[in-house]
């Protein structure tokens, strides 16, 4: 990412700079900057604590250092637990729109899964929320495919639910065929009565075949995978610029 030279760049406050990154769509830079600032603040606070410890004798220094290390681990663990619990109150679909499903499906290996360095634990609930909202928008089609896969696996593990679902689909297919053959559109009251009867029969079949349990299992597993992947996956640039694009933009200037 290349920024134009600005003599006032060093005097921009951090909140304004983060707001500019967010408005311009440089969310991956904002994500990396948040991780770097947290790592820097952690190392600085640890160094300051060690520096402020008494240094009159080596025994006192060792005792103070051993006391600081468990305290730092406790603070880090508490911060991680706070971020983890914040995922339970997160709504990852708040910024999702129908346009996010109309594009091409991102690559499963390079874009969706990525490498080992593509994942890191969020340093704060705000960063976890930022990652979740953006990754859900980017990988909406991947998450939908995973839900279909989990639902199919659940049906395979519960054959009765699969049979019940097939029976319901066959019931409505027969209803449509009979409606077209007998021209039920000319008898709206009779057609509406048959629709209500078919709906009641469908609800009974789905209930006794435990399709709702299968759907609940698939939704639970899919939601857990979605939240964990979206919050742990680092943000990457949405579109990679090619040399031809850079030459084209420079020629326009």
- Express each pLDDT in 75-114 by its tens digit: 667 677 777 788 888 888 888 888 888 888 899 998 899 8
Query: How many CB atoms neighbour CB 139 within 10 A?
Result: 22
Query: Which of the pair, 42 or 179, is modelled with greater confidence?
Result: 179
How many whole angstroms separate alpha carbon 27 and alpha carbon 14? 15
Tell me how far apart the alpha carbons of residues 166 and 211 are, in angstroms, rounded to a whole number.
11
Residue 252, pLDDT score: 42
- CA 26 – CA 62 distance, rounded (Å): 45
Residues 6+ positions from 81 with CB-CB distance below 8 Å: none
Distances (CA, A) of 137 to 100, 128, 134, 173, 238: 6, 14, 5, 35, 11
Model confidence at 138: pLDDT above 50: yes
Inter-residue contact 124 to 34 (CB < 8 Å): yes
Q: Please provide the average confidence, as pLDDT, over all residues in the chain.
A: 77
pLDDT of 222 above 90: yes
pLDDT on residue 182: 86
* Contact between residue 233 and residue 31 where contact means Cβ atoms under 8 Å apart: no
Tell me, yes or no, if the pTM score tops 0.75: no
Q: Hey, which residues does 74 pair with through a beta bridge?
A: none
Confidence of residue 196 (pLDDT cuts 50, 70, 90): very high
């Amino acid at each position: 990412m290349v920024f134009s030279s600005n003599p006032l760049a060093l005097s921009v406050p951090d909140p304004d700079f983060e707001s500019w990154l967010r408005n311009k769509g440089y969310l991956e830079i904002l994500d990396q900057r948040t991780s770097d600032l947290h790592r820097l603040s952690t190392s600085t606070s640890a160094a300051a604590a060690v520096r402020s410890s008494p240094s009159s004798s080596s025994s006192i220094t060792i005792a103070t250092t051993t006391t600081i290390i468990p305290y730092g681990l406790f603070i880090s663990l508490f911060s991680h637990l706070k971020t983890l619990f914040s995922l339970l109150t997160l709504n990852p679909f708040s910024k999702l729109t129908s346009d996010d499903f109309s594009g091409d499906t991102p690559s499963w290996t390079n874009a969706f899964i990525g490498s080992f360095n593509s994942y890191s634990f969020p340093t704060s609930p705000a960063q976890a929320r930022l990652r979740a909202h953006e990754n859900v928008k980017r990988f909406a089609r991947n998450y939908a495919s995973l839900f279909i896969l989990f639902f199919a696996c659940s049906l395979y593990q519960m054959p009765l639910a699969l049979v019940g679902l097939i029976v319901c689909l066959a019931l409505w297919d027969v209803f449509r065929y009979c409606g077209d053959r007998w021209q039920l559109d000319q008898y709206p009251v009779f057609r509406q009565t048959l629709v209500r009867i078919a709906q009641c029969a469908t609800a009974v079949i789905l209930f006794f075949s435990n399709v709702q349990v299968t759907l609940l299992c698939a939704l639970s597993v899919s939601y857990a995978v979605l939240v964990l992947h979206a919050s742990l996956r680092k943000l990457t640039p949405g579109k990679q610029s090619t040399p031809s694009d850079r030459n084209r933009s420079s020629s326009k200037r």
